[in-house]
Amino acid sequence: MMARKFDHLADVEVFLSVVEHGSFSAAAIVLSTTPSVLSRALSRLEARLGTQLLRRTTRSLSLTDAGQRYANEARDAFARLGQAEQAMRSTTAQLSGKVRMSVSTGYGQQRLPPILAAYARAYPLVELDVDITNRNVDLVAEGFDLAIRSGPLPSSTMASRQLEASPLCLLASPAYLETAGSLATLEDLARQQCIAFVRPNTGRVFPWQLRDGDRDIDWIPPASVMVSTDAMGVIWLAEQGMGIALCPRLFAETSLAAGQLVEILPQLSGRTRAFSVVYPAHRGLSAASRALIDMLVAAHDSSGGI
C-alpha cells in the first residue's frame, strides 16, 4: 500500500495559524480546539522536518530562521493549491467574481466593446470593472488584474500576450488635402501642418515612426498643433482639417470608412504598433481573468491559453 506523502498538511496548517495569530491560545480559539492539541501538532511537524520552527517560552513565541523560511514556503504552497482548486471548480461551475482591467480610450473605443459584450454573455456572474484611461496604471499597487498596452513592455514583473500589431498610417481630411499642395516625399511632409502627440510625462513630442524605403525613421514632426494624454485627439483634429496625423490604423478605421479621413503617403508607412494584454507575472490569475485574456487573444485569431 502506498504511503500518504502529505498526511501532515493539517499540522502545517496548525503551524501557520499559530504564526498568524501569535499564540497557541489564540489559534486554538480560531480552530475550535485546545492549545495542547496544537502544541502536539507542532511537535509532530518539527520532528518530521528535523528542525525547530518556533522558540517557545512561557510568555512568547518567535520564529526561528528555519521557521521563517518554512512559513513563507508553506504560505506560497497553500496559495498555489487554492488557485488550483479554484481553477478546477471553474471548469464545472459558472465563473463569478470581479475582473478589473485598464485600457486606453483608443483601444477601448475601437476594439473592446464587442469582446466585452461576448464575455458578459458567456459569464453573466462576473463583474467587469473597466478603467478607460490613457495613464499607465500600476497593476499591482492599484489592484488591476490586467491591462491592454501598446508599444514596448519594459517591466519584467509583467507577463504579456500580444493581441495585434496595427500598421501606423498618415492621415488627413479631404478638405485639408484640397489646399495642401504636393505630397510625395518626407520633404513635402515637413512643409505641412502636422498634429503631434506630446508625451504627458515629459512634454516632448512623440516621434513619428516612419519607413522610407528600407530605412526606419523616427521623425519629429514640425507641429502646429499638439495633443497630449489622449491619442484619439489627433484623429478628431485631423477630421476637422487642422493638419496631418500619424496613428495606428485601428484607431482610425471608423473615420476612414466614413470618408472623414484618407490615408496619404503610403510609401512612408510600414511600421506597426503592437498591442498586448499584460498582467502581473507573479500573481495568480483568477479563472475569470484567465477567461477574459483567452477571449481577447482568440478575438484576434491567436490561439493557446495562459
Asked whether 161 and 297 are in contact (CB, 8 A), the reply is yes
Please, what CATH class does the domain formed by 97-164+274-298 belong to?
A: alpha beta
Q: What is the mean pLDDT of residues 30-34?
A: 88
Please, what CATH class does the domain formed by 9-92 belong to?
A: mainly alpha
Residue 1 pLDDT more than 60? no
End-to-end CA distance of the chain: 37
What is the DSSP code string of 195-252?
EEEE-TTT-PBPPEEEEETTEEEEE---EEEEEES-THHHHHHHHTTS-BEEEEHHHH
Averaged confidence pLDDT in the chain: 87
Q: What is the mean pLDDT of residues 127-137?
A: 88
The pLDDT tens digits of the residues spanning 106-115 come to 899 888 999 9
Residue 21 pLDDT more than 90? no
Domains 97-164+274-298 and 166-271 share a fold: yes
pLDDT at residue 155, rounded to an integer: 62
Please, what CATH class does the domain formed by 166-271 belong to?
A: alpha beta
Q: Rounded to whole angstroms, what are the CA distances from 128 to 3, 108, 211?
A: 46, 14, 40
pTM of structure: 0.64
Residue 135 pLDDT more than 90? no
d(CA 39, CA 84): 30
d(CA 106, CA 229): 11
Domain locations in the chain as residue ranges: 9-92, 97-164+274-298, 166-271
pLDDT at residue 119, rounded to an integer: 95
Burial code (b: 16+ CB inside 10 Å, e: under 16) for 8-37 equals: beebbbbbbbbbebeebeebbeebeeeeee
Residue 147 pLDDT more than 60? yes
Question: Please, is 169 exposed, middle or buried when counting C-beta atoms within 10 Å of its C-beta (0-12, 13-18, 19+)?
Answer: buried
The pLDDT tens digits of the residues spanning 215-241 come to 999 999 987 788 887 888 999 999 999
